[in-house]
Chains A and B, each alone.
Chain A
Amino acid sequence: DGGITQSPKYLFRKEGQNVTLSCEQNLNHDAMYWYRQDPGQGLRLIYYSQIVNDFQKGDIAEGYSVSREKKESFPLTVTSAQKNPTAFYLCASSIDTSGAVYNEQFFGPGTRLTVL
């Protein structure tokens, strides 16, 4: 089955520790995205990548870092510089970010990060 996997579903970390969230897709999509969602809020774009070895900052990139060494993988690191990291993190992918207007994003199940 094609889709996006995120692991783990729940993650607990102590304040001051870096933590890496996994995102893998087997849809052969070029573009991948990371969003943050706070309780009762919409999604905010952290980073996105249009192609391997390239990524762009979104609206709230401070305190986060990403890498895109493989087409199918786009891990997100939440660093100790992120002041309020407790949130729900969603990874998504799409065929690309340009070209056809119809370009649905497919989402993973999300990772709920709690920093103690």
Chain B
Amino acid sequence: AQKITQTQPGMFVQEKEAVTLDCTYDTSDPSYGLFWYKQPSSGEMIFLIYQGSYDQQNATEGRYSLNFQKARKSANLVISASQLGDSAMYFCAMRGNFVFGPGTRLSVLP
């Protein structure tokens, strides 16, 4: 069975600094994809970034990048130059049965 673990229930970061949100996963599938979503207080789920298991390079999308370490089964999200609008819940998810982790609440401090 697929499983996603996010060990940080809450994180604080100073505005303009970088922050890393952890995600580890467990799967026996040789081919898989990992997604990160942002959920503001409004409740909508916003797609941020995707990493395929066979991708040779770590994914990047603007201020978001993914630190993918396949051997360690980790796919950590890095947000550079944090902004106040980044305050939200962040979920790591796996393609397949669309398993979601429990989420990390990020708070950006002015």
Across the interface, which residues of A come within 8 angstroms of B43, CB to CB? 88, 90, 109-110, 112
Asked if B57 lies at the interface with its beta carbon under 8 angstroms from chain A, I say no
Measured CB to CB, the closest approach of chain B to A89, in angstroms, equals 10
Q: Are B32 and A42 in contact (CB under 8 A)?
A: no
Indicate whether A102 sits within 8 Å of B97 (C-beta atoms), given known contacts A42-B102, A42-B103, A90-B45.
no
Across the interface, which residues of A come within 8 angstroms of B103, CB to CB? 40-42
Chain B contact residues, majority secondary structure: loop
Across the interface, which residues of B come within 8 angstroms of A106, CB to CB? 47
Across the interface, which residues of B come within 8 angstroms of A116, CB to CB? none
Q: How far is the CA of A90 from the CA of B39 in the complex (A)?
A: 12
Asked if A105 lies at the interface with its beta carbon under 8 angstroms from chain B, I say yes
Q: Are B102 and A41 in contact (CB under 8 A)?
A: yes
Across the interface, which residues of B come within 8 angstroms of A101, CB to CB? 31-33, 52-54, 95
Q: How far is the CA of A88 from the CA of B99 in the complex (A)?
A: 17
Asked if B98 lies at the interface with its beta carbon under 8 angstroms from chain A, I say yes
Chain B contact residues (Cβ within 8 angstroms of A): what range?
20 to 34
Across the interface, which residues of A come within 8 angstroms of B97, CB to CB? 45, 58
Q: How far is the CA of A106 from the CA of B98 in the complex (A)?
A: 12
Q: Are B100 and A104 in contact (CB under 8 A)?
A: no
Q: Are A104 and B35 in contact (CB under 8 A)?
A: yes
Q: Are B100 and A42 in contact (CB under 8 A)?
A: yes
When the two chains form the complex, which single residue of A58, A92, A102 contacts B52, counting CB atoms closer than 8 Å? A102
* Proximity string of chain B (24-50) to chain A, C-beta cutoff 8 Å, 1 when within and 0 when not: 000000011101010000111101001
